Amino acid sequence: MKKKISILGSTGSIGTQALDVIRSFPDHFEVTVLAAGTNAGLLIKQALEWGPKIVVIADKTRYKEVQTALHTHGIEVRCGEEGLIEAARYPSADMVLVSLVGFAALTPTIEAIRARKDIALASKEVMVVAGGMVTRLAEEKNIRILPVDSEHSAIFQCLEGESKQQVEKIYLTASGGPFLRYHPNEMECISPEAALKHPNWKMGNKITIDSASMMNKGLEVIEAKWLFGLDPDQIDVVIHPQSIVHSLVQFRDGALKAQLGTPDMRLPILYAFSWPQRLSASWPRFDFADYPSLTFEKADQKKFRNLALSFQALRKGGNIPCVLNAANEVVVQAFLEKQLDFMKMPDVIEQTMERSVYIANPDLQELRQCDLEARLIASEYI
């Protein structure tokens, strides 16, 4: 029996690599639904290759183009948020890969869980914004959330065969991004072009900027809390510039377990798809000769203030991580459009966090409202 997979965000970096994985394992997986944000051209190409049951383009202005290209091939086309929700709930799918960018991933993820689909989660923002709600719902519906984020996949792999009670803490590794060795003075005039050059990983724009500003690691700290049921004090970050050790778990006897591998997202994607099995893959193996030394150092939360702000948001809880995420989405966009300096991004996020009204247990409606308000507040500071 092949596992039927719906891909929400098929034209992005994770989506296209997920299709590579499925292409390599045609006896194990098949594509049921393809959904994308705005890239109509690539979505049409993918649909013609994979022949999914339905195709969704979130951007309604691109609907006609996709519909015209696909209707003669018997592929149904939908659009907008309603379309994404239909895609998330599509009856015959066994698993939904969520790889949409940002807050937009939340509602489709919740709908997929309500429809009792296992989730392969690449969009960490879902856990940042609504981790409590999403994990409770997953438990209630008895479905699995399998991490696709490489660090969380590493932790998940280290925890196989262990019980949660044995865990003392986890270490998320961070490459430190392109500016790890920069003096704070040099960081004043960083251009989007420089920030988009990640030393080890090839990823989408939003996450590459998040990596350069260390917000990516901050969001991953919050994601880890919910995926693994940890307290804030049990989560730490360690800089590891080579990106070979993908993360570590420290147990209560002091033992450390790590998962290592080349920086290739196809591995965590495959593990999420194939779990609890491992499948034989033929991609290049790690070569020790390429990495004579693996190094580790403390993360500098003064230089990378986004990391400190994320721990703050994690400790405050409630709707504050949602505020952090919304403000971050706004400042990243502004930075890419050269309307905001690199070092001003944490300032705006901090001010937005301070000005937002605290809600201890927000429901989905309150989170949507909070997301909108935080975006408005952050925009005012830009």
* 223 binds Mg ion per the rule CB under 5 A: no
Question: 223 vs 373, which CB is nearer to Mg ion?
Answer: 223
Residue nearest to Mg ion (CB): 149
Which region, judged by CB under 5 A, interacts with Mg ion, from 38-46, 149-157, 188-196, 256-264? Answer: 149-157
**Angstrom distance (rounded) from CA 177 to CA 264:** 16
**Angstrom distance (rounded) from CA 198 to CA 68:** 38
Which region, judged by CB under 5 A, interacts with Mg ion, from 111-119, 145-153, 249-257, 372-380? Answer: 145-153
Question: 137 vs 238, which CB is nearer to Mg ion?
Answer: 238
* 125 binds Mg ion per the rule CB under 5 A: no
At its nearest, how many Å lie between Mg ion and the CB of residue 45? 27
Which region, judged by CB under 5 A, interacts with Mg ion, from 84-92, 104-112, 144-152, 268-276? Answer: 144-152
Relative to beta strand 297-298, strand 235-239 is: antiparallel
At its nearest, how many Å lie between Mg ion and the CB of residue 220? 6
Q: In which element (H, E) is residue 237 found? A: strand 235-239
Among 118, 149, 223, 329, binds Mg ion (CB under 5 A): 149
**Angstrom distance (rounded) from CA 371 to CA 382:** 17
Instruction: Say if residues 206 and 267 touch (Cβ distance below 8 Å).
Output: no
At its nearest, how many Å lie between Mg ion and the CB of residue 13? 12
Question: 62 vs 246, which CB is nearer to Mg ion?
Answer: 246
Residue 316 sits at the vertex; the CA angle it makes with 315 and 322, to the nearest 5 degrees, is 105
Phi and psi (nearest 5°) for 90? -50, 120
Instruction: Say if residues 81 and 59 touch (Cβ distance below 8 Å).
Output: no
* 210 binds Mg ion per the rule CB under 5 A: no
* 329 binds Mg ion per the rule CB under 5 A: no
Which region, judged by CB under 5 A, interacts with Mg ion, from 26-34, 146-154, 330-338, 365-373? Answer: 146-154
Q: Check residue 362 and give left, alpha or beta (phi > 0: left; psi -120 to 50: alpha).
A: beta
Q: In which element (H, E) is residue 119 found? A: strand 118-121
Question: 268 vs 318, which CB is nearer to Mg ion?
Answer: 268
Which residues sit at the interface with Mg ion, rule CB under 5 A? 149-151
